[in-house]
Structure formats: structure tokens, C-alpha cells
């Protein structure tokens, strides 16, 4: 809708990970190099944790795109996996076309399949997303796969990607030593304000725009609202561009972001709004999300709802602009 108006070739602030828009700031570049070293140079599983919306998926896709890597992506989307569940999910993903009655039977077939289909690759990387949903038993099964060898060569690298609470599951005292050998353990954090500015500029340039589009006040306000979470930065910026287009603006200022925030704060339950209005309590937000407060509830659980609602808010932005 706004591409011609702002002289861009692609939408710069989509939520889905896009390798063309990948931005590697200092933190992201360091984490990527640690992940890469863990995959190529060290024994053991590789762990990446971070809050929702910090950009974990984009980084692991970059790892999977390295020369000589054959990535296998699995998302733990259902109930906790037990027994042979991990192996059956992996068998389905790799089109092994059978079910297995024992771990030994799966591993024998799995090793033959790896040698036949992936023998020419430098590394086969099994990337498990939403790893915080794994059980201790499932972690043990994955650790077994990470240790498989043939002719002295490791056959598979396991990369576990999870939300912040996966750090607790990955601790030896919690998982009973299931992850005895960890090649790299990385944490991805939200962006600082300077990084937020660089992130926005990078995505605009990748979309085909060379000139600045958000002034300093706008960037500061975006950072305050998003708290440095890339996914939420994208939601706010996309909404602001739709607003700017409808108002025939050439530059997005802080006032535009504050105006947009009045709508986004309702849809996203933002804790802090630029005009200082009160926001719903944590209990109210959790009730709206359909989950009763539990012991240990924190801002992390709130953000899980925040970012889910964000996708809905972005989809509805165009309708809002039409009806203004």
C-alpha cells in the first residue's frame, strides 16, 4: 500500500524472518559466530535462548544456510514429547516412511539414511525450535543423536532453540545430565536504542530506500514502546508507515509514533504508552490471554501474549486507516 509513496521495493517490516532483511548488530554477529563455532568446531549440542521476538529464528536460518550445511527444521508444537516421539517426528520429517518399536531400530535406520542422503555434506544440523517444551527424556534422546559417529566422524549436530525458560531445563541439576556436552550456549537479548536505530535503517535500505524515514524522536519512541524487541519494532514501524501514507507524510516523526501507540496500546496491551496513560494489570492481561496467573509469572509470559496479539494488530492496521 505505501511502497510507492515512500519509494521502496518491498515491505521493510514484515514479521516473518526474511534472509534479505537479516541485520547483524554487534550482539547478533557475536551470537552468530558462537553458534557457527559450536556447529562446526566443537562437540556437543548447541543452545540458543531468547525471549519471543528477539530474532532467534532469523539467526538459526542463517546458520542453516552456510555452505556445506544440510539443515533439518523441527518445531515442538504440540504437547510435551516422550518415549519415541522425538524419533518419530524426525522420521516423518526425513521421509523415512516407517514407525519404530525401539530406539535401537530407529538409530540403525537413521545412520544408514544419513550416510545415503547426506554423506556429501560437511554438517547435518538438526534445529529444534520451541525446545522449552521438550521433556528430560526427549533431551536424552537428542543427546544420543548428537553423539552418533561413523568412522570417527560426528554424523549430526543438534541445535536447540528455546525461550528463556529453556535455560532452566538445560541446567544439569534439572535435566539430570541429559545434556552432558554443550558445544555453545548463547543468549539473544533485546536491542539497545542505538541498535534499534541501526536496525530500522538497515531494513529500510534492504527494502530499497536510501534516505532516512524516521526522525530521532520517532526512533526513541519506537525503542521505548518496543523495549528493543525486533518483532515489536516491526509491528510499530509498519503501523506508522500505514499511518504516514494515509496522512501523505514524507517523514515519520515521534508524534506519528505516539498517535499510532494509542491504537497499538489497546491491541497489544502495551505496559507503557508515550502519553503516560495507565495500562491493564498483569492479571487482566493474563485473563485476556486465557491463562490464569501462576506462580513464577513474569514479564516474559506477558510478552508471549503481547507478540501473539501483535500479529493481529498489524493485520488490522489497514482497516483502521480506512475507517479513520
Per-residue pLDDT reduced to its tens digit, 25-35: 999 999 999 99
**In this predicted structure, what is the pLDDT of residue 305?**
35
Q: Are 90 and 125 in contact (CB under 8 A)?
A: no
Per-residue pLDDT reduced to its tens digit, 251-306: 999 999 998 888 776 555 555 544 444 333 323 323 333 333 333 333 333 343 34
Query: Cell numbers at residue 277, please?
Result: 496513560
For the domain made up of 42-188, give the CATH fold. Answer: Rossmann fold (3.40.50)
Instruction: Identify which has the larger pLDDT, 179 or 111.
Output: 111
pLDDT at residue 320 above 70? no
Average pLDDT, the chain: 80
Phi, psi values for residue 218, rounded to 5°: -65, -45
pTM over 0.75: yes
Region at 122 (left for phi over 0; alpha for psi -120 to 50; beta for the rest):
alpha
Residue 276 is inside which H or E element, if any?
A: none
Per DSSP, helices labelled H in the chain are 26-40, 56-64, 85-93, 103-118, 136-146, 166-170, 172-175, 193-206, 216-226, 230-246, 254-268, 282-288, 299-323
**In this predicted structure, what is the pLDDT of residue 266?**
57
Q: What is the rounded CA–CA span in Å between residue 194 and residue 219?
A: 9
CA dihedral 109→110→116→119, nearest 10 degrees, is -150
pLDDT at residue 70 above 70? yes
Amino acid at each position: 500500500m505505501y511502497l510507492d509513496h515512500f519509494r521502496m521495493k518491498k515491505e521493510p517490516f514484515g514479521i516473518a524472518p526474511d534472509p534479505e532483511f537479516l541485520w547483524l548488530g554487534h550482539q547478533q554477529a557475536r551470537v552468530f559466530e558462537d553458534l557457527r563455532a559450536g556447529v562446526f568446531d566443537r562437540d556437543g549440542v548447541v543452545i540458543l535462548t531468547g525471549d519471543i521476538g528477539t530474532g532467534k529464528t532469523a539467526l538459526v536460518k542463517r546458520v542453516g544456510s552456510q555452505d556445506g550445511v544440510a539443515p533439518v527444521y523441527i518445531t515442538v508444537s504440540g504437547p510435551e514429547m516422550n518415549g519415541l516421539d522425538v524419533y518419530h517426528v524426525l522420521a516423518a520429517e526425513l521421509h523415512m516412511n516407517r514407525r519404530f518399536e525401539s530406539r535401537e531400530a530407529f538409530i540403525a535406520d537413521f545412520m544408514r539414511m544419513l550416510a545415503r542422503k547426506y554423506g556429501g555434506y560437511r554438517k547435518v544440523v538438526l534445529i529444534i525450535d520451541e525446545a522449552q517444551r521438550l521433556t528430560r527424556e526427549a533431551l536424552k534422546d537428542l543427546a544420543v543423536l548428537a553423539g552418533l559417529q561413523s568412522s570417527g566422524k560426528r554424523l549430526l549436530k543438534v541445535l536447540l532453540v528455546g525461550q528463556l525458560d529453556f535455560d532452566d531445563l538445560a541446567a544439569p541439576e534439572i535435566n539430570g545430565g541429559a545434556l552432558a556436552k554443550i558445544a555453545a550456549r548463547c543468549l539473544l537479548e533485546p536491542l539497545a536504542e542505538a541498535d534499534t536505530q541501526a536496525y530500522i535503517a538497515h531494513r529500510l535500505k534492504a527494502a530499497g530506500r536510501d534516505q532516512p524515514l524516521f526522525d530521532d524522536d520517532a526512533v526513541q519512541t519506537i525503542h521505548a514502546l518496543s523495549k528493543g524487541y525486533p518483532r515489536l519494532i516491526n509491528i510499530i514501524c509498519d503501523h506508522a508507515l500505514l499511518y504516514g501514507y494515509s496522512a501523505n507524510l514524507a517523514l515519520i516523526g515521534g508524534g506519528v509514533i505516539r498517535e499510532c501507540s494509542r491504537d497499538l496500546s489497546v491491541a497489544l496491551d502495551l505496559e507503557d504508552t508515550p502519553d503516560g496513560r495507565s495500562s491493564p494489570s498483569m492479571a487482566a492481561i493474563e485473563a485476556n490471554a486465557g491463562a490464569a496467573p501462576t506462580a513464577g509469572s513474569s514479564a516474559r509470559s506477558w510478552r508471549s501474549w503481547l507478540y501473539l496479539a501483535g500479529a493481529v494488530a498489524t493485520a488490522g492496521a489497514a482497516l483502521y486507516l480506512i475507517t479513520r
